[in-house]
Chain A
Amino acid sequence: MKGFNARGVLAIYRFEMARALRTIWQSLAAPVITTSLYFVVFGGALGSRIQTVDGTDYGAFIVPGLIMLSLLQQSISNGSIGIYFPKFTGTVFELLSAPISSMEMVLGYVGAAATKSMVIGLVILATASFFVDLNIHHPWAVALFLLLTSFAFSLFGFILGIWAKSFEQLNFVPVLVVTPLTFLGGAFYSIDMLPQPWRTVSLFNPVVYLVSGFRWSFFDKGDVDIAISLGFTTGFLAVCLTIIAIIFRTGWRLKN
């Protein structure tokens, strides 16, 4: 489509943010409580045994992984619900009949989903700083990873929302794929701590690169090179963008 329907994008963005604001306390309470629990369990119980990883206090060491875990879960669920719900209730007819291009629609929905995730990421960071001393080495890199990861996985969630035909399918990917990958992706340990062949196997887990890059931003140390992490994250974003472009070109699962 020619031109740019900025008001349309804004309408979707505001709609989605208003929806989140209606349940703001649930949205924020859950990650704050979960994070606190992780600190009690991992930081308190395990931390007294492990003490340091790679010269970083264990309590601080798990912060990037914890944020990344929530970021992935939140982005995927926010991104998928935003588009799945109109499909489910039938209100999607209005979106499809509106003078709004697919990319504008993505911008509105994914923009809102990513905003919510980033807010939650920052809330977790703030919560964590009550428990441990954090000395962030590369604040700009933290911001960049927060932004890239939120967008990439909200977009991934959006694709999931278009693909899903039931709530079961909607929950399938986050619960059975993403959460295990995150736990096995070095969120709570350095993959260098693993024996072979698990260390090599881990390198096939995409979440490893995200967590490692994010951890580098905090502590100037990661499991893999920062350039590889960054390349992987932008690469994932590009793949999701391509898939979404193809979906909209063909009208797949949105139009009859």
Chain B
Amino acid sequence: MDSILSIRGVGKTYSSGHRALESVDLDIARGEIFALLGPNGAGKTTLISIICGIVTPSTGTILVDGHDARHDPREARMRIGLVPQETSVDMFETVWSTVRFSRGLFGKKMDKAYCEQLLKDLTLWDKRDAQIRELSGGMKRRVLIAKALSHEPDILFLDEPTAGVDVSLRRDMWKLVSGLRSRGTTIILTTHYIEEAEEMADRVGVIDKGRLLLVDEKSALMKQLGKREMTLTLQEPLSALPAELAEWNVDLQDEGHRIRYTFDAQAEHTGIPSLLRKLGDLGIGFKDLETEKSSLEDIFVDLVENDR
């Protein structure tokens, strides 16, 4: 893998004594979208903050495009843009001046055309001379994104980009992310929302209690761990499952109106034909049949539950 970011043995114990991150190893491929999925307090923000230089790691090394973040921070940081979880912006600055400030801070020469396009993409152009305190919460988020992108970073971190954001901004955000991706920007985002990871990411890492539980291609993950379900709506409700069905993983639902069959999508024999035949033999009729793939959400909940 051509990795743009390489994390080795990164751990963090806060001064309070709290161990927020165990030894984390992770490689991010150039140009991919990576979703870090985990519940509250899992250590997502801590990991991102360490990579961006805001929190000092207790152990481990980080290479950003081959530059050691500790020994060559300037080269490492120039390549990174961060949209933090909290909306911290300078309230009395105008949109334009704060974006200009960010670009300068990262050592880049002012490029009016680029900044103008950036603000237009984020529908902030009309607000460029407004003070940030006059903007709505969603608009402030856009300003933070504009600031993070002002210096044309190779890697963009989005820490919970869609928390507290309405549908339209969310859609805009995804448009922006796919636009950036097509230009070759690597994107790492954190989220609690599985749909978000499912929709956008190439790969997903599941983190809980400071440990990276698993990292995989989203599609492989869903295939590997994905369970499928088939639900049959019965013509006549059953009071109990016949003993003959014990060899299938079935249960009764909806006061006997439905039978649910859970099976492994990867298995060679799904057991569906034989189950249907058996039902026919038993004279159990059904009027509807549905199958469903388990979502990343189920996978995630499974993983985190097992970890506890």
- Report which A residues bind B (CB closer than 8 A): 1-3, 5-8, 10-12, 14-15, 18-19, 22, 89-91, 93-101, 251, 255-256
Contact = CB atoms under 8 A, between A and B. Distances in A.
B192 interface: no
Nearest to A22: B92
9 contacts: A8-B104, A14-B104, A91-B90, A94-B82, A96-B54, A97-B53, A100-B105, A251-B56, A256-B14
Given A2-B72, A18-B97, A95 B105 contact: yes
Contact of B74 (A2, A12, A255): A2
B78 A99 contact: yes
B95 interface: no
Contacts of B49: 93, 256
Contacts of A95: 105
B215 interface: no
Contacts, number: 86
Contacts of A91: 88-90
B89 A256 contact: no
Contact of B106 (A93, A98, A256): A98
A39 B54 CA distance: 49
B108 interface: yes
A44 to B, nearest CB: 40
Given A22-B92, A93-B54, 7 more contacts: A11-B104, A11-B105, A15-B93, A93-B84, A96-B53, A97-B80, A99-B77
B54 A97 contact: yes
B101 A7 contact: no
Contacts of B73: 1, 99
B74 A1 contact: yes
Interface string B76-102: 111010101010111111000100111
Given A2-B72, A19-B92, A256-B15, A99 B86 contact: no
Chain A binding surface SS class: helix
A90 B88 contact: yes
Nearest to B108: A7
Interface in B118-137: none
A12 B102 CA distance: 9
A18 B97 CA distance: 10
A117 B276 CA distance: 87
Contacts of A11: 100-101, 103-105
B82 A97 contact: yes
Contacts of B258: none
Contact of A5 (B53, B56, B74): B74
B88 to A, nearest CB: 3
Given A1-B73, A5-B107, A99-B74, A89 B88 contact: yes
B112 interface: no
A94 B105 contact: yes
Nearest to B14: A256
A22 B91 CA distance: 13
Nearest to B76: A99
A89 B98 CA distance: 15
Contacts of B108: 7
B31 to A, nearest CB: 22
Most chain B CB atoms below 10 A, which of A1, A5, A11, A90:
A11
A150 B72 CA distance: 33
A19 B92 CA distance: 9
Contacts of A10: 104
B110 to A, nearest CB: 9
Contacts of B97: 15, 18
Given A19-B92, A99-B106, A251-B56, A93 B15 contact: no
B107 A97 contact: no
B77 A255 contact: no
A238 B103 CA distance: 32
Nearest to B107: A5
A94 B91 CA distance: 15
A216 B91 CA distance: 45
Given A97-B54, A97-B82, A99-B73, A8 B106 contact: yes
